[in-house]
Amino acid sequence: MIAEPRDVQAIFEAALELTSAEARADYLDKACGDNQVLRDRIEQLLQVQSKVGDFLESPAPGIAASLASFDQKEASDGNDVATRDDADALELPGQQIGHYKLLHEIGRGGMGVVYMAVQQEPVRRKVAVKIIKPGMDTKEVVARFEAERQALAMMDHPSIAHVLDGGGTDSGRPYFVMELVEGKPITKYCDEFRYTTRQRLELFAQVCQAVQHAHLKGIIHRDLKPTNILVTDNDHGVTAKIIDFGVAKALYQPLTDRSLYTQASQMIGTPLYMSPEQASSTSLDVDTRSDVYSLGVLLYELLTSTTPFERERMDQSSDDEVRRIICEEDPPTPSTRLSTLDGALDTVAENQQTDPRTLSQSLRGELDWIAMKALEKDRTRRYESASELAKDVQRYLEDQPVEACPPSTPYRLKKFARRNRGLLTTSLLVAVVLLLGTGISLWQASDARRARDQAEKNFHQAREAVDTYLTEVSENELLNAPSLQPLRKDLLELALRYYQGFIQQQPDDADLQAELADAHERLGEITSLIGSAEQALQAHRQALSIREKLVARHPTSPTHQQALASSLRNIAQQSMHIGQTDQALAQHQDAITVLEKLVDQYPRVSEYQSDLAESYRFLASSQKTLGQQDEAEDSYGKAISMSEKLVEENPAVRQYQYELARSYNLGANLDCSLGRLSEGIARLEKAILIQGAILQQEPENLKFQEAQADFFGDLALAQRTLAQFEEAMTFCGKAISIQEKLANENPSVLQYQSRLAIYFQTQSFLHIDLGQFEEAVTCSEKGISIQEKLLEQDPDGMEIRARLGSLYAALAQSQSSIGQLEDSLASYEKSILLFEKLVEEYPMIERPTLPRTYLNVAVAHFRLGQMQKGLDYSQKALSVYEKFAEQHPDVVDHQQSLAAVHYNIAHTHYLMGEFDVATEHLRKEIAILETLLERVPSIVKSLLKLDMAYFKLAKILRDAGDEDVAAEAWRKFIEIATDVNHDEANIHLWGHVGQAHYRLGNWQQAREALEKGIEQRGDNNPIYGFGSGSEWWFLAMTLHQLDETEQARDIYDQLVAMGEKSPATNQFNAPFRAEADEVLGIVQPTTKQDEQESPVEPVSSELD
């Protein structure tokens, strides 16, 4: 039996793909059968190939022409290819050809032999020398050889091998010299170095531009394939080089004057990468779009590690069958092809640093469309040029809309009808149109007369249509358009119904089950944005139920394991939102257990590491919320370690950068809660820097925008703790600016609205800190308006109620600051009702805002003169904070709040004349703050509170008649105040320092401090608001002590006049005026009541 040249080539190339000697022998047994001559020839070729490697493969026709002569005279066509042994005529290593000394053979094919050589003059360098093989110098081969040399000489592109020289050997055979490309085939390189999908696309775009350069020079390659595209890595970076223009065709002029023609039965190129027009006709009908098709095959292979048509099937088919397959059959999309790879899929995904399911999902949609557009049978529907293909790939990489799109329904119907002319009648065509148009599955159109395989094919077409047009299109197109989330939710619910229908037809289909679980998961994600946490949790539980069954049936599948971990993590997050804290922690731990096993089994898959880092980050956040600080720090340490490693190893993956920024943000929150404020701010600045860089690359990405707003908001809170109020206000404003835009443009996304309300609350606190009380009221009311609307949509929402309670507390504090005490109490009561209900429903979650609100209500009652009521609320706050501090002694906020409660209780007892009890509570406050400052000396807020505790203690001791001990307290107060950075200090501090010096008789120091205090506050006259006048009264008394009596009396008169205009101010300043009357000798004092500083500043209601 004589083998056709195509068969010889096919067997040879297929055998080359097998690296195992045993597998190769088994294959040759089957392929060659009893044809020993064929077997011997193939083994001879394989032996030669093993010595020379795969630097440069010759084109398929060349191999066919060469091998055809081994056992048939018919293979010669009048240009007889010599059948004698020409080994003696081969050049040998060490031989000199022109300026080039041959070193060793590095490649050969049907047309030529390639040697590595050294050029000796005029420069010394290594080159590649290609020489026509002995006996192959027919007119056709010589013409092709000359064509390749001329084609290379015409081009000048960094990604195309350059021709350097040419000539003839001593025996007269032509040769040419080109740059030496020491690289690996592009697919092999990408797999060995585990290039991600993005990196593969970037390298592919580089190849497209090189092909475009050849086309502009009038050259069509006609044999683009991985072994003709080598990748090198040198000092200039990674570069793809196109080689072997042995079957190139000129568009506009002949590449050679010699005869160059193709036999009628011979295909030019490699069938696996060959366009339909190239396979079915002569080269006269081939244009640049044929290379676009080959690029489409290359893209397909880079994404899936396989070709559109199965290699084994093509190898075992005759030439006519190969032509039919190429010209008539439609290959599956890349994402669909992945599902047929079975066990190989894990390796394919691992080589792209991801997992099978994520890889499949990333290909669906736009990458499928791009590849299939390049692979269109009708070349008029392909990309017009290689550069257009490259541009579409680049658009995908930049998250811009791509030119490619799914084929239209009429076009798909036309193709379907062409493939099934014998099966379809006109009425059936109409039915198919209706079914496709409404999304109903095509398998229902099958009846008993249709073959089972056709029904199966239709079933998969229907499934792919639903998957593409409902689930995947809704995800890819609407994911970054939150305003369309309600529509997306409807699409997902529709997809769910179709999947459930499919499963009724094929209940054992694991892929269908997995898709159904994915749809439930996506529905849960959307519902969490636009609906309630309970509804989202229900969707995630349905996904979990399916995935648990899949894992039970396929326990070794990493894809199902990863999906299971995703469901566990989602349920944990939603459980935290509704207060099911024990379940949340357990589910987080379960997810981590699954992912740790995956990371151990597949250490090279970065996607699993990323999922594990995210799970640890979510666990740490939940532990922090529950006050489990040590556990949270341990979980955070694991998360940040993995995130930093991922970014280091994958610097181009923006998702990993985003996750690292999120991890820094979480670490900052942990630091701040433990009083490590400088470390926390440093981490936040890192997060903001990373996120800013990401946003420069993707400025329209809403997830990245929201994260940056979050980081700005947290930085504002940290700076507020350090009393850096102006800086905090700046960053809070940045957060509001970003979040307002997100909320206004996407009103259906509840999460955006809720975050905006939080930032308004922070801004309200900062306005209070800066004495801007009217602005504080406005901000609180804005936040409350948002949260009340959200509560209408989700009345049971735990987080919504908690945030609304915090906002009512902030509003109450603002109202109290401007003297609206009754309104303030009403707002506080609303806050208390909400928080007491939450504590009852969710006792495991600490609510620090509740005791703070108790404390602020106490202050409001003090100002109304309702001392016992105020004391009752103070005791409530004390009870809660003592419990917090005992359970979590390392949490700075709890210690500071406990100290503040003691201060307020002391103040209450002082006003009630119970000096001993007041002194006792002040000394407790001082002990707490001094202990805290020993551990965390950077807390300016605690230092200021300690300072004021000594100030208050000195006043109480003085009123109690203990002047000497009071003097020690005054001096301690001045000592601490001197160490405080006054740019970060309370605006009253200088005034208090002045009062302390006045009590100690340091008149000049008192004057300087009081004037600094007035200057710092911007008070250039004594007409100021409620609770702000003590500095002026003490300045008047100090000037009198310095014998500047006229100026002292002038200030006194202005203050009295102001009091007459404002009864509230007059009442507040009454103690100061009484003492000033006595000092200035205006009236005799009627009581020993000392000055009373402005009522205690209420403790701010921080975020829950």
Sequence-distant contacts of 869-877: CB under 8 A, at least 24 apart: 870/908, 871/905, 871/908, 871/909, 874/901, 874/904, 874/905, 874/908, 875/905, 876/851, 877/851, 877/852, 877/901, 877/904
Judge whether 490 and 523 are in contact, CB under 8 Å. Answer: no
Judge whether 1029 and 1072 are in contact, CB under 8 Å. Answer: yes
Query: Structure tokens of 219?
Result: 């050259």
Residue whose tokens read 């003592």: 882
Query: What SS3 state is found at 97?
Result: strand
For residue 578, CA distances in Å to 382, 528, 618, 796 come to 52, 12, 15, 9
Strand partners, 174: 168
Residue 625 neighbours by CB distance under 10 Å: 16
Judge whether 802 and 1104 are in contact, CB under 8 Å. Answer: yes
Using H for helix, E for strand and C for coil, what is the string for 837-850? HHHHHCCCCCCCHH
Q: Please measure the distance between the N-terminal and C-terminal CA atoms of the chain and give it in whole angstroms.
A: 85
Q: What is the DSSP string of 891-949?
A: -HHHHHHHHHHHHHHHHHHHHTT-HHHHHHHHHHHHHHHHHHHHH-TT-HHHHHHHHHH
Residue 620 neighbours by CB distance under 10 Å: 27
Query: Structure tokens of 812?
Result: 């109450």
C-alpha to C-alpha distance for 780 and 132, rounded to whole angstroms: 85
C-alpha to C-alpha distance for 117 and 933, rounded to whole angstroms: 76
DSSP 8-state symbol, 121: S
- Tell me how long the chain is: 1104
Angle at 279 between CA 278 and CA 281, to 5 degrees: 70
Residue 130 assigned ligand-binding role: yes
C-alpha to C-alpha distance for 636 and 631, rounded to whole angstroms: 9
Judge whether 117 and 105 are in contact, CB under 8 Å. Answer: no
Beta carbons within 8 Å of 831's beta carbon, 6+ residues apart: 805, 806, 808, 809, 812, 849, 853, 1101
Strands of 16-173, DSSP E: 96-97, 100-108, 112-119, 125-132, 163-168
Residue whose tokens read 């009596």: 1045
Query: Structure tokens of 710?
Result: 């979050």
Judge whether 944 and 989 are in contact, CB under 8 Å. Answer: yes
Q: Which of 361, 360, 472, 458 is nearest to 412 (CA)?
A: 458
Judge whether 854 and 880 are in contact, CB under 8 Å. Answer: yes
C-alpha to C-alpha distance for 350 and 195, rounded to whole angstroms: 10
The two beta strands, 219-220 and 249-250, are antiparallel
Beta carbons within 8 Å of 961's beta carbon, 6+ residues apart: none
Q: What is the DSSP string of 991-1022?
A: HHHHHHHHHTT-HHHHHHHHHHHHHHHT-SSS
C-alpha to C-alpha distance for 659 and 620, rounded to whole angstroms: 14
Beta carbons within 8 Å of 975's beta carbon, 6+ residues apart: none
Query: Annotated binding residues for ATP, as ranges?
Result: 130
Query: Annotated binding residues, as ranges?
Result: 130
